[in-house]
Amino acid sequence: MKSNNSTRPVVSFPKLALLAAVFLGIVFLLPRPAGLEPAAWRLLGIFVATVLGLMIEPMPGGALVLLAVTLASILGGLTIQQALAGYGDPTVWLVMAAFFISRALINTGLARRIALFFVRLFGKSSLGISYALSASDMVLASIIPSNAARSGGVVLPIMRSIAELYGSQPGATAALLGSFLFTAVYQNICVTAAMFFTGQASNPLAAQMAAQAGYTVTWTSWFLAGIVPGLCSLTIVPMVVLRLNPPKIRHTPEAAAFASRELAAMGPLSREEKIMATVFATVCGMWVTSGWHKVDITVTALLGSAALLVSGVLKWEDVKSERAAWDIFIWYGGLLRLGKALGDAGVTTEFAGGVAGIFGGASWELLFAAGLLIYFYAHYGFASITAHMLAMYPAFLALFAAKAAPLGLVVYAFACFTNLAAGLTHYGTTPSPMFYAHGYVSFRRWWTTGFVVSLINIAIWSVVGFSWWKLLGLW
């Protein structure tokens, strides 16, 4: 049950009992491959139960992962030092530092200024507004790993204000403008999540899984891979949504005027915003050029956070109160370690060998196409990009590595498609219920739009994306 409702218990014991039953079923009922130790099989049971727990939520996700990490040191063949090693992983601290920088971006008002700038520039039509807000989210996605923080905290309030400028409220007047904006912009924030290493919090997790499979992913390589198909999707998707969910108001000069008024009210850049802009540009620049100067991107992010703390732009109280970051620290570090331990124990290799044996006569190309579609539409069953990625991404990586498929193609295709698939439903990722709850879009229209856009995104990323990756030498 959700822990943010004070009338409900924080822990659901029936759901915990279900997770225990899943663990026991795997350990005692499923045949253990001869190549795996009993501890490795118990570790698999813990991992599967944990991923299921992230879906059904018997308790808060961080608490559940902490429990799993503890049990891994008792039942999974790990020492407590090994079980806790994920919390010292540089990728975990990269995500933490990026969260701190994003908090300063929002607190200083620079993130809102960026969004208003794009609206002033492109917001003279309903389509232009969707492009402006999508462009804002794209810029912020280059450094803010929380899609909820940037789209829910920055983009969504501005979008709602613009809809209300034209008298578009949930209900009878939603079709004037708001319904289109909510569907078009939401679909595009799923695209921006796929475009960047920092597009959302579990993308670095995919990079870690790829590294365990023998393929290195960097901020720059992900940026290069995502920029061309991403820009194509960001351009085409709002046009498709415009046909599916046309707004009655097409020309919106007042939106650009609204943005101009808001920017004027904000005044010139403050000292804090200037420092924030400098740190933002420097960190992104260092990430892009990390292949030249060899400074680790985690070091760059931590230096950016430290610079903001020293300058006073970011307060230590902000760091302590960044609840989302510390929550991610617990579940992300724990899951990272459990996933790596499964690989070290040979579990993913055994899975890949078994599946490859079943489909031994199929070419990797045919299996790749089928697997990618199955993987994409499996997201109907997930309320979290992270849970989807944990449950299926490492297994598919291992499978296609065993089939000798080009690893670069597999790594980026499945990682990006996990994010794109979040557009299918109104619960596919953290911002989706935030957008849907405003009541501008009906359930049927949301799901219909999500399905049609999924076909468009699959076509764009399979044709433009795969061709672009071929030119980059990724496969």
Last residue of a domain, one of 308, 323, 338: 323
pLDDT at 54: 80
* Tally of domains in the chain: 2
Is residue 341, in this structure, part of any structural domain at all?
A: no
Last residue of a domain, one of 323, 345, 380: 323
Given a cut of 80, whether residue 7 has pLDDT beyond it is: no
Identify whether residues 234 and 302 lie together within a single domain: yes
Determine the structural domain holding residue 281 and report its residue range: 90-323
Residue 419 in domain: no
Decide if 353 is inside a domain: no
Of the two residues 52 and 264, the one the predictor is more confident about is 264
- Which residue type does 18 have? L
For residues 51 and 94, state if they share a domain.
no
**For residue 352, what pLDDT is reported?**
67
Which of 300, 323, 346 is the last residue in one of the domains? 323
Same domain, 97 and 246: yes
Both 152 and 50 in one domain: the answer is no
Per-residue pLDDT reduced to its tens digit, 26-68: 999 999 988 899 999 999 999 889 888 887 889 988 899 999 9
The answer on 219 and 187 residing in a single domain is yes
Q: Would 390 be classed as within a structural domain? A: no
Q: Are residues 260 and 277 in the same domain?
A: yes
Same domain flag for 153 and 287: yes
- Give the tens place of pLDDT for each residue, 314-365: 999 999 998 888 988 898 888 888 888 887 888 877 776 676 666 666 789 9
Q: What is the pLDDT of residue 236?
A: 98
CA separation, residue 390 to residues 49, 206, 251, 282 (Å) = 12, 9, 44, 32
Note the pLDDT of residue 431. 86
286 close to 219: Cβ distance less than 8 angstroms: no
What pLDDT sits at residue 3? 40
Same domain assignment for residues 58 and 105: no
Comparing 20 with 324, the larger pLDDT belongs to 20
Would you say residue 434 lies in a domain?
no
- Can you say how many angstroms the Cα of residue 183 is from the centroid of all Cα atoms in its chain? 18
For 387-432, what is each residue's pLDDT tens digit? 888 878 988 888 888 888 999 999 999 999 999 999 999 888 888 8
The reported pLDDT for the residue numbered 6 is 42
Q: Say what the pLDDT of residue 5 is.
A: 42
Q: What is the mean pLDDT of residues 171-181?
A: 94
Please give the residue that has the higher pLDDT: either 402 or 160: 160
Residue 407 lies in a domain: no
Instruction: Tell me, yes or no, whether 437 lies in a domain.
Output: no
Same structural domain, 300 and 227? yes
Cα angle 196, 198, 200 (rounded to 5 degrees) comes to 100
Whether the CB-CB separation of 155 and 189 falls below 8 Å is answered with yes
Domain assignment of residue 189, yes or no: yes
8 Å CB contact between 407 and 221: no
My answer on whether 58 and 126 are in the same domain is no
Q: pLDDT tens digits, residue range 78-96?
A: 999 999 998 998 888 988 8
Do residue 30 and residue 110 come from a single domain? Answer: no
Whether residue 96 is found in the same domain as residue 79 = no
pLDDT of residue 382: 80
- The mean per-residue pLDDT over the stretch 271-288 comes to 92
Which three-class secondary structure string do you get for 49-74?
HHHHHHHHCCCCHHHHHHHHHHHHHH
- C-alpha 392: how far from chain center: 15
